[in-house]
Amino acid sequence: MNEQQRPRFTYLGHSTVRCDLPGGQVILIDPWIDSNPVCPQAVRTFDRLDAILITHGHADHMGDAVEICQRHKPKTVVANFEICQWLTSHGVTGCSPMNTGGAQEVCGARVTMVPALHSSSIQDGDRLVYGGDPGGYVVRLANGFTFYHAGDTALFSDMRLIAELLAPTLAFLPIGDLFTMDPRQAAHAARYLEVEQVIPVHWGTFPALTGTPEGLRAELDALRVACEVITLAPGESW
């Protein structure tokens, strides 16, 4: 697959990823920008924003969703049912709810919500509101290119089913440890997923997130898994 056929991915730091599709549409996964301490100024604004995908309710994934939607008015906002209800009640339009196992068309791509082993709640003032189940997304472009953003998750063996049924070739996997997989679990995830490339996310944002891309590479080598680790610093594109 040549470079024209896959999206251009820009890492905004932590778990936030901008995807510029070959057709020009822009999809933002996990809108945490304004209060994201590692997101560079240069990538905080958008020339266009067509859709947002939200993996779960935690503030480091959707903490700035309402403001970003007010500024950029994306046509579609995809999240689980509970998060969509909450966003709609806070003035966000275009919510398109789904739930684990379902799929829908977004910007001409097929977006499937897959499980994540984590929790999900929404910070609403000084209260935590039920945020439904956490998830990840597998995005299949019209040309067939398929990638997976795992959101926050532990390792789970049903990642094999994601490989079998949806066959992504690239995965954004959390590696920071403490709240998600560490590099060792992420290496096993890459093995289950049979992906060719992994872009590590959810690392380096805070000192408590200790997993590193070098650690992931070492664990993949130890497992003899032939998978490329693509390390992006916040602000970098691939």
* Contact set with Ni ion (CB under 5 A): 58, 152
Q: What is the sign, positive or negative, of the torsion defined by CA atoms of 26, 27, 33, 36? A: negative
Burial group, residue 96, by CB count within 10 angstroms (0-12, 13-18, 19+): middle
Residue 88 φ then ψ, to 5°: -60, -40
**How crowded is residue 126: how many other Cβ atoms within 10 Å of its Cβ?**
5
Q: CB-hemisphere CA count at 13 Å for 110?
A: 12
**Binding-residue pattern over the window 130 to 159 for Mn ion, x denoting contact by CB under 5 A:** ----------------------x-------
Shortest spacing between CB 42 and Ni ion, in angstroms: 26
Structure tokens that stand for 18 in this block: 């901008």
Euclidean distance between CA atoms 233 and 91, whole angstroms:
33
- Closer Cβ to Mn ion, 61 or 184, answer by number: 61
Shortest spacing between CB 58 and Mn ion, in angstroms: 5
Shortest spacing between CB 234 and Mn ion, in angstroms: 15
Shortest spacing between CB 153 and Ni ion, in angstroms: 9
- Closer Cβ to Ni ion, 118 or 191, answer by number: 118
- Closer Cβ to Mn ion, 56 or 191, answer by number: 56
Alpha helices per DSSP H over the chain: 59-62, 65-72, 81-89, 159-166, 183-193, 213-223
Shortest spacing between CB 54 and Mn ion, in angstroms: 12
30 binds Mn ion (CB under 5 A): no
- Collapsing DSSP states into helix, strand and coil, what is residue 101? coil
182 binds Mn ion (CB under 5 A): no
- Closer Cβ to Mn ion, 50 or 64, answer by number: 64
Closest to 84 in 3D by CA, of 57, 119, 60, 58: 57
60 binds Mn ion (CB under 5 A): yes
Identify what 219 binds: Mn ion, Ni ion, none; CB under 5 to 8 Å per kind.
Answer: none
Identify what 82 binds: Ni ion, Mn ion, none; CB under 5 to 8 Å per kind.
Answer: none
- Closer Cβ to Mn ion, 119 or 237, answer by number: 119
CA of 104: how far to CAs of 23, 138, 203, in Å? 18, 11, 30
- Closer Cβ to Ni ion, 173 or 220, answer by number: 173
Structure tokens that stand for 30 in this block: 């996990």
Binding part of the chain for Mn ion, among 39-47, 60-68, 164-172, 208-216 by CB under 5 A, reads 60-68
Shortest spacing between CB 108 and Mn ion, in angstroms: 29
User: Which residues face 57 on adjacent strands?
Assistant: none
List of residues contacting Mn ion (CB under 5 A): 60, 152
